[in-house]
Structure 1
Amino acid sequence: MEKKQVFAADAVFVSNESDQDELLKNIYDHLLDSGYVKGNFLAHIIEREHNFPTGLSTKTLGADLPNIAIPHTEGEFVNKRLIVPVALKNPVTFGNMIKPDEKLQVKFLFMLLETNPDGQAKLLSQVMDFLARTPEKELKNFLNFTDPEAIYQYLLQKF
């Protein structure tokens, strides 16, 4: 799959938000305006995040890496297949995907937009592969970027 097809320059965000629901709403507003998602996307991604959290500890990839989250919902609420990177200036609390009762302070999101019901696993594995193969120092630097254009260009080159 072409990298340019899974990333869009107008779907890379940097957020000052510190509340999970508000963060998801702000991203949703932009994605809806751009036609990437449908009107009922927000309610479903929030509900899914509350019931099936997507926070991931990055401890296995490196000691000083910020935690990430990979929010997503069903394809029926999505218009275009994309990975939406979101850098967070403030940590946002997400439930841990592996241990849902555990809370993680997350600093970066890879929101998955997938129209195909069977495609989410592929997008998720692409994100996990990117994280696993990127050298720790480089990954730490990337996960702390606060410029949408720099994030976009990095992903086009390295993803």
Structure 2
Amino acid sequence: MPDVANKTLFDPTAVFVTEQTTQEGIFKEVSDQLLAKQYVKPEFLKNLWEREQNYPTGIDMSVVNPDYPNVAIPHTEGNFVNVRLVVPIKLVTPVDFGNMIEPADKFPVSFLFMILNNDPDGQANVLSEIMGFLTTTPAEDLQHFFNETNRAAIYSFLNTFFNQG
């Protein structure tokens, strides 16, 4: 495997800006493209959807900054993916996700950080890196990032501000 693959958790060809207005639509659009790249296995979509229903991944960002939009971090087990990657997905229209802490609570989410992780021991690491990014990036910069709809700009921002351990 080339060395470059280990240097970043992001791929410029796996950054999405979607106009889908349902979880199902978002997951299908992104999964189809990830499957075409062979980043995920055919069962990925079904398992991603089931996991999100049973273990919601929405994060209420108002506790970090009341001006931030809410995010979600959908993922599934490593045996359904072929790579270690974070897939950023900007939602043009916010979509309701269940709260990771209080699953019965739902709130609108505007940005997804989908985790693809074929290393079962690495899931918590990637989640903590995402949370670190969300809590340590300067507020003004992060606010601009959340409003960005240009895929290249999203990728560039993440490569600049995302602290890779």
Same-fold call, TM cutoff 0.5:
yes
Output the CA distance in 2 between the equivalents of 1:64 and 1:6.
26
Whether 2:47 is the aligned partner of 1:47: answer no
User: Do the aligned partners of 1:4 and 1:156 also contact (CA within 8 Å) in 2?
Assistant: no
Which residue identity does 2:120 align to in structure 1?
P
The runs of 5 or more residues in structure 2 that have no matched partner are none
- 1:125 paired residue number: 128
Rounded Cα–Cα distance in structure 2 between residues aligned with 1:135 and 1:5: 21
The DSSP-based 3-state class of the residue aligned with 1:17 is coil
Cα deviation for residue 4 of structure 1 reads 4.4
Contact 1:61 1:136 in 2 (8 A): no
Distance, in Å, in 1 between the alignment partners of 2:118 and 2:139 is 32
Identity level (%): 49
Cross-structure match for 1:114: 117
Contact 1:58 1:66 in 2 (8 A): yes
Secondary structure (helix, strand or coil) at the match of 1:30 reads helix
Contact 1:55 1:68 in 2 (8 A): yes
Aligned length: 159
Q: Is the 8 A contact 2:59 2:71 kept in 1?
A: yes
- The residue aligned with 2:18 is 15
What RMSD, in angstroms, separates the aligned Cα atoms of the two structures?
1.4
The separation in 2 between residues aligned to 1:138 and 1:154, in whole angstroms, is 9
Q: 1:143 to 1:39 in 2, by over 3 A?
A: same
1:140 to 2:164 alignment:
no
Local SS of the residue matching 2:8: helix
Q: Where do 4+ consecutive residues of structure 1 move more than 6 Å?
A: none
Using structure 2 for the length normalisation, give the TM-score.
0.93
